[in-house]
């Protein structure tokens, strides 16, 4: 089959978008389309220019015999600001207020379009770092973890509160919940991670950071390194934060259960150099 250039461009773009952060040799495309490397290089130049102009991401070229091209998802600052404001607007509705100063976010976490964009926002922040695994705790952090993992092209590991027979041998730790100051347990399968991996941990909501700190301690048991912390919503808290460095998209400043008032602002994504 002889591919037209328009057909090659469409198929090539589709493949790149489906395989972020994967190094693809030029010979792969040349063999697939039955075209010369020079023609493939020209096609990739068109894709690269379009990706950058439209804010889709970057197309990095790796020279040498073992080189090729790699699609790196990146979002423009204006688009990220728009997502943050959209989240603030959506979460500001008074009927989302739950006892204890929490917000109802299940519908947002279940929205595939929003989660895809949130995942790309965080993936943009860590695009230049080596990330081997995304870690979260069951259950509400799972959609965010998978969304980030989709754009970084890495696996997800899920920490649980209790051991499951389907997990096999596990490692468990006790940690202190930041807000309630209660002793709780975290469990992770021994097969989930390998020693020396760099791990990005994430969750939907963070008060003081007890859960995040627990996951950080769990990494030490696996001899893994914390690469970063990504939070959808953080709450302003009088107590000292247990996690020093993290990225958040939205900050819950104040809630009044009596007045049914929710005050939100942009998180520290840009303030802490997340982009």
| φ and ψ of 37, to 5 deg | -60, -35
Q: What is the pLDDT along the chain (275 residues), one digit of tens a residue?
A: 789 999 999 999 999 999 999 999 999 999 999 999 999 999 999 999 999 999 999 999 988 777 899 999 999 999 999 999 999 999 999 999 988 777 899 999 999 999 999 999 999 999 999 999 999 999 899 999 999 999 999 999 999 988 888 889 999 999 887 666 788 899 999 999 999 999 999 999 998 899 999 999 999 999 999 999 999 999 987 767 778 899 999 999 998 877 888 999 999 999 854 44
Same domain membership, residue 148 and residue 97:
yes
pLDDT value of residue 275: 41
pLDDT value of residue 144: 98
Same domain membership, residue 90 and residue 49:
no
pLDDT value of residue 63: 86
Same domain membership, residue 81 and residue 192:
yes
Same domain membership, residue 219 and residue 159:
yes
Which CATH number does the domain housing residue 122 bear?
A: 3.40.50.2020
Same domain membership, residue 248 and residue 226:
yes
Classify residue 274: in a domain, yes or no: no
Q: Domain residues for 10?
A: 5-73
Classify residue 275: in a domain, yes or no: no
Question: Exposed, middle or buried, 191 (CB in 10 Å: 0-12/13-18/19+)?
Answer: exposed
Which CATH number does the domain housing residue 57 bear?
A: 1.10.10.10
pLDDT value of residue 273: 45
Same domain membership, residue 117 and residue 251:
yes
DSSP state of 160: B
Sign, CA dihedral 208-210-212-216, equals: positive
Last residue of a domain, one of 58, 73, 88: 73
Same domain membership, residue 125 and residue 43:
no
Enter the tokens of residue 189: 């399968």
3-state SS assignment for residue 184: strand
């Amino acid at each position: 089959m002889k591919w037209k250039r328009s057909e090659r461009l469409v198929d090539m773009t589709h493949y790149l978008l489906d395989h972020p952060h994967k190094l693809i040799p030029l010979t792969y495309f040349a063999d697939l389309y039955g075209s010369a490397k020079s023609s493939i290089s020209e096609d990739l130049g068109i894709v690269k220019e379009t990706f950058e102009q439209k804010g889709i991401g970057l197309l990095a070229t790796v020279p040498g015999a073992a080189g090729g091209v790699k699609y790196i998802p990146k979002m423009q600052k204006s688009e990220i600001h728009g997502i943050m404001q959209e989240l603030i607007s959506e979460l500001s509705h008074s009927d989302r207020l739950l006892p204890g100063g929490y917000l109802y976010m299940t519908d947002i976490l279940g929205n595939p379009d929003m989660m895809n964009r949130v995942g790309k926002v965080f993936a943009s922040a860590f695009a230049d770092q080596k990330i081997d695994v995304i870690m979260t705790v069951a259950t509400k952090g799972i959609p965010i973890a998978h969304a980030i993992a989709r754009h970084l092209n890495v696996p997800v590991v899920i920490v649980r509160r209790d051991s499951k027979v389907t997990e096999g041998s596990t490692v468990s730790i006790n940690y202190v919940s930041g807000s309630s100051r209660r002793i709780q347990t975290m469990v992770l399968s021994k097969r989930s991670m390998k020693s020396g991996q760099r791990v990005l941990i994430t969750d939907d909501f963070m008060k003081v950071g007890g859960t995040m700190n627990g996951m950080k301690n769990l990494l030490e048991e696996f001899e893994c390194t914390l690469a970063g912390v990504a939070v959808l919503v953080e709450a302003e808290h009088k107590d000292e934060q247990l996690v020093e460095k993290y990225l958040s998209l939205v900050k819950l400043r104040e809630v009044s259960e009596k007045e049914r008032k929710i005050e939100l602002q942009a998180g520290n994504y840009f303030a802490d150099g997340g982009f």
